[in-house]
Structure 1
Amino acid sequence: MTKFELPEKPKKTNTSEDFNNLRKAVDELDKFDYAWKTHANKADRRINAANKYIEELERENQRLIANAKPQQALPVVPECVAEFIEDCKKEGECLFGIFADATRVEHDMPDLVYFWLGDEGNNDELFARAWLDGYTVEKLQLFYIELPNVYGLKNKILVSKVENGIIVEFSNGKNYALKFTEQEIKSIDERYWQFAVPVEDGE
């Protein structure tokens, strides 16, 4: 039997059309590569510019922090001083006028403010800061005047009314008892200070 062999398949040869198609494909790839590289370069430049700007901001921030003056806390003044400042400002008074006037009568300055400014502690500068920058009001400790039990009474005897610097009424328990500052108690009579009992929070 004779063996038949298939003829060899002819090899495809590249025609000029194939070369043209290949050249077009390569050109398209070059265009894409160029566009991508251009876009990437622009993005890199923007990122670098943004990083430089961030570094400048951080340096400026550090400079400001280093040069910043610590903010001073607002001065703490008694309630009577705070009220006097607000009253003067409502009436259109100026700070210079308060200090320029040698007498306290002109501004109807309360005794407590007058003594706090001068005799008590020379608080002129503190007063000026409070006037100009604002203030926080000092929370004064309040007290009851609790008198000793007499005649075997069970309830505590507390002062409930004062008139013209004289104690005129008492109460059993704290419901009607007056609350005083240390200065107010001593202004009635310094001997009452020994009977002062602190007012607790919420009372």
Structure 2
Amino acid sequence: MTRKDYIEKINQNLKHLTKDELKDVSILTTAQYGVRLKVAEKEYIEKEIANLTPQLQQQTLPVVPECVAEWIEILKTKGLKPLKNPETYGETGFTEEKLQNIVFWISEHQEDYMRAWLDGYTVEKPQLFYLKNKLTTSYLALDINTGYYEHWGEEIIPKLPKKQGYKLSFTQQEIDSMQTGSYEQIKVEDGE
């Protein structure tokens, strides 16, 4: 049946209807049109969601310092809200300095903190440094077993990380707690 035949058949059927029946047909036609619009709108929205989902999944998670990650896990484990103040919550075991670092980071990165709370996070890897003595050109190494610092030549750097019990690279926080006046900080590149 062609479209023209279909329209002609509808018109013949409509001629036999009373005025009240025609009103009902009009109401039903309008309702059916509204339903079709809603179905089309729903399909459009579902298509948009399908198109946006991969983009949202590709967004990287916020990077948070290790102390903030610990704080988030404490709160979630205890079923507490994300806006609990670390300085007024006494059961963390954190030092006062660590608590202040958490509060400062959260205040400076509120959006990242809430995204980390809701979506998850990646823990920040602290930048590591070698400490090279400016006078002797040897590198500082910590014997983890004894707690004593030793000096090693440059040729040992590639071998030392494989050697058990020695630490050759240090975080900025560790360096700040040492007296390193005669040492040059050399960034450890990723993969070293």
TM-score normalised to structure 2 length: 0.52
Q: Hey, what's the Cα distance between the residues in 2 that align with 1:134 and 1:178?
A: 32
Which one has the largest radius of gyration?
A: 1
Are residue 138 (structure 1) and residue 118 (structure 2) matched?
A: no
Kept in 2: contact 1:77–1:137 (CA 8 A) = yes
Kept in 2: contact 1:161–1:168 (CA 8 A) = yes
Deviations 1:104-143 (A, max 9, x none): 5322235564233224562473434323321012232211
How far does residue 96 in structure 1 lie from its aligned partner after superposition? 2.6
RMSD between superposed Cα atoms in Å: 4.1
Q: Hey, what's the Cα distance between the residues in 2 that align with 1:168 and 1:143?
A: 18
Identity across matched positions, percent: 33
Kept in 1: contact 2:62–2:120 (CA 8 A) = yes
Instruction: Work out which structure has the larger RCO, using CA pairs closer than 8 Å and 6 or more positions apart in sequence.
Output: 2
| Counterpart pick for 1:77 among 64, 75, 80 | 64
Kept in 2: contact 1:158–1:177 (CA 8 A) = no
Q: Hey, what's the Cα distance between the residues in 2 that align with 1:162 and 1:74?
A: 36
Secondary structure of the residue aligned to 2:91 is coil
Amino acid at match of 1:158: Y
**Residue segments in structure 1 that go unaligned for 5+ positions in a row:** 1-36, 38-51, 151-155
Secondary structure of the residue aligned to 1:114 is helix
The match for 1:33 is none
Q: Hey, what's the Cα distance between the residues in 2 that align with 1:89 and 1:121?
A: 14
The match for 2:184 is 195
CA pair 144-137 structure 1, distance change in 2 beyond 3 A: same
How far does residue 197 in structure 1 lie from its aligned partner after superposition? 0.9
The match for 1:180 is 170
The match for 2:141 is 160
Length, aligned pairs only: 139
Superposed, 1:1-203 pairs within 5 Å as 56=40, 59-61=44-46, 64=49, 71=56, 73-86=60-73, 88=74, 92-96=77-81, 99-100=84-85, 102-110=87-95, 113-119=98-104, 122-123=107-108, 125=110, 126-150=112-136, 156-161=137-142, 168-172=148-152, 173-174=156-157, 175=160, 176-189=166-179, 191=181, 195-203=184-192
Q: Hey, what's the Cα distance between the residues in 2 that align with 1:123 and 1:59?
A: 39
Deviations 1:59-96 (A, max 9, x none): 4455547998x73642210123324433x268x32343
Kept in 2: contact 1:143–1:179 (CA 8 A) = yes
How far does residue 196 in structure 1 lie from its aligned partner after superposition? 0.8
Kept in 2: contact 1:170–1:177 (CA 8 A) = no
